[in-house]
Chains A and B, each alone.
Chain A
Amino acid sequence: DTGVSQNPRHKITKRGQNVTFRCDPISEHNRLYWYRQTLGQGPEFLTYFQNEAQLEKSRLLSDRFSAERPKGSFSTLEIQRTEQGDSAMYLCASSLGPVGNTIYFGEGSWLTVV
């Protein structure tokens, strides 16, 4: 499978614990995006990387959230001290160049905070 890969696909965690999600983009794609989607809503932009540089971080991302893309390949999204409001599907996407070209989404990582 040469698409965008995310893992874990599902994570249940207790409030206050830290979680980390990983995204492996399509290999030649230089742009990587994280979105969050809750029930009944469309995906909301979280952050954007061009190669290894994080060029924008949404106001939605509190200080408990951090994303990295070392070496411009895979990316991680870490949530510290999780809260119930963090429960959502976290979507990673990648594209080659501007997103006017096709952007490809991974299958998402579902987080449930109990």
Chain B
Amino acid sequence: RKEVEQDPGPFNVPEGATVAFNCTYSNSASQSFFWYRQDCRKEPKLLMSVYSSGNEDGRFTAQLNRASQYISLLIRDSKLSDSATYLCVVLSSNDYKLSFGAGTTVTVRA
């Protein structure tokens, strides 16, 4: 079983729509969680950390459910520039190894 599993999508949504997707992780000892964004053939970049209480950053909302071991990301009022692959990332019980999901592809159309 992979450490981090994501729905690969693609999610194809119109501008202004809301899109949400989840990922699940297998290691209950995982301590930190992140969403990264990756554009085609570019490096991953941190979008936001995910906190137990849930957190927002502008149009992006992240939620963590430790009991069920899943993480979600919601994008409100989608923009064309939100088109990317979103990587769910988990920091294992050590403090240095990130485990990445395979990514969820989002395409926002005009």
Contacts and interface: CB of A to CB of B under 8 A. Distances in A.
Nearest to A48: B96
A40 B98 CA distance: 18
A74 interface: no
Nearest to A99: B96
Interface residues on B, range: 20 to 34
Interface in B85-110: 87, 89, 91, 95-103
Contacts, number: 56
Nearest to B97: A45
A33 B103 CA distance: 20
Interface residues of A, number: 25
Contact of A42 (B4, B42, B91, B95): B4
A9 to B, nearest CB: 11
B5 to A, nearest CB: 10
Contacts of A40: 8, 102-103
B59 interface: no
Interface stretch (B12-20, B43-51, B70-78): B43-51
Nearest to B45: A105
Contact of A100 (B4, B8, B43, B91): B91
A108 B40 CA distance: 12
B44 A105 contact: yes
B96 A31 contact: yes
A45 B95 contact: no
Interface of B: 4, 8, 31-32, 41-46, 87, 89, 91, 95-103
Interface of A: 31, 33, 35, 40-45, 48, 50, 55-56, 89, 91, 98-100, 102-103, 105-108, 110
